[in-house]
Chains A and B, each alone.
Chain A
């Protein structure tokens, strides 16, 4: 029953995809007709040999070509402006990873402390409420000025954007651990560390992991924009670079890769979440 539905859904997904590619193909095909306007011709002349690349929105076939070329050799390195997509993604993932782990290192202990103490929660709340809605990219000038390193600034931006969801979820998860479990630990005279790691942490783990999943989603959204600003390496820089080259097929290819990696990251956290979720 279920697998039958899955099969049907898969079939419909495929149809949607084919319809989309078909429509795209038709739409881009018409533009390549002989009816080039005067402006287009002038523009083509201005662009010289490059004109062939930029004649309208690329058809699916062109995009497919760039998929094939980049995926055939994802890890080549021919200087600062020409690296394989695998290398670029690895740079982005490394930044996200470091920033995210730093955020974990701060958010978990701090969230624990805030969640355990209503006093601290109230004291920290105004700061969290004000800092949370700030777009992480707004920190970029301050980060660049004070850290004086574009790479570290990128990591800082990831750190600051991953911090809030994790902090809030950890504090909430810790604060709402079932009273009964705390009472069990109290009647057993369980020490504070043992209580934190064996009772509160596992009890709050599903909520904490939800926070991490949200953080990772935001971090992956932000890294692309941050790398467009900072430049140098990374998938965001790749997109910006290919836009400057007016190589739209490559931009589309990169956009799809960003989506795929984001999906994989989310699914990874979905698996982790499943591991710590308990049934009552």
Chain B
């Protein structure tokens, strides 16, 4: 546990005036270069967890250790892409990214800051629009600027709060591809909230499934065992894809709401939430676990 790049330990959030906490006893870890998605229904505290990781909100109990140091308050080590892009409308696109770059490297000369910012804007395909104001851009382009701004400060970790939630399906697909390319090229460690199961399968190495709040728990951690070089166009031809997808959708539709009373909850060990690999069928098991008779398609592997 302690060797992990980021480890979340015993996190709890209770709002004043409310007797039951939104979540408590949340433990999970993220390895360097890992892409982790978190999925759960509204109200399970996903955004709160992300805000705690960002340092924007304080947990009621527990803590987060990143790279050997406890997180206290916001830091340039963690870049955040906000759900509503959060660009400053009075600055140009370049100005928005340069503002972040200047915050990270205050001593850089203006030319270097602009060159650096432009490089990251070109990376998200916005090289032609750097002198425009955000209001002149479409929703997808604004979100790209937000992504470029977060990448440009080269954070140790990237936090994405449902960045594509407000975009139409086509735009979302394109930006997912771009994000995938950038992440694969930079080996960026990412923590991302999403509501989109396909998005999680495309991007993530593992998916954290949260049961419904209040008293939300990490119900399972699903490892996406498909090869890392997956693409949006090819992904659904992989036999693993639908197994994983069905597993995730089943959880969201059926199991997440009555998780609290189920057998799984009784056996639940908050410090070691069950890790499952629904993509693998029994014969292809990576680990030496015996296949469960009840569910041939899924393996439960405790860490």
Contacts and interface: CB of A to CB of B under 8 A. Distances in A.
B84 A180 contact: yes
B82 A188 contact: no
A189 B88 CA distance: 16
Nearest to B84: A180
Interface stretch (B97-105, B114-122, B268-276): B97-105
Given A279-B133, A279-B135, A187 B90 contact: no
B74 A189 contact: yes
Contacts of A203: 88, 90
Contact of B103 (A190, A202, A280): A190
A121 interface: no
Sorting the interface of chain A by its residue count into under 10, 10 to 19, 20 to 34 or 35 or more gives 20 to 34
Contacts of A202: 88, 90
Contacts of B103: 188-190, 194
Given A187-B54, A189-B75, A180 B86 contact: yes
Contacts of B135: 278-280
A181 interface: yes
Interface residue SS majority, chain A: helix
B79 interface: yes
Contacts of B88: 181, 184, 199, 202-203
Interface in A183-234: 183-184, 186-190, 194, 198-199, 202-203, 205
Contact of A188 (B84, B99, B133): B99
Interface string B46-86: 00000000111000000000000000001110111010101
B239 interface: no
9 contacts: A183-B80, A184-B80, A184-B100, A186-B74, A187-B55, A188-B100, A203-B88, A279-B89, A279-B135
Interface of B: 54-56, 74-76, 78-80, 82, 84, 86, 88-90, 99-100, 103-104, 133-135, 153
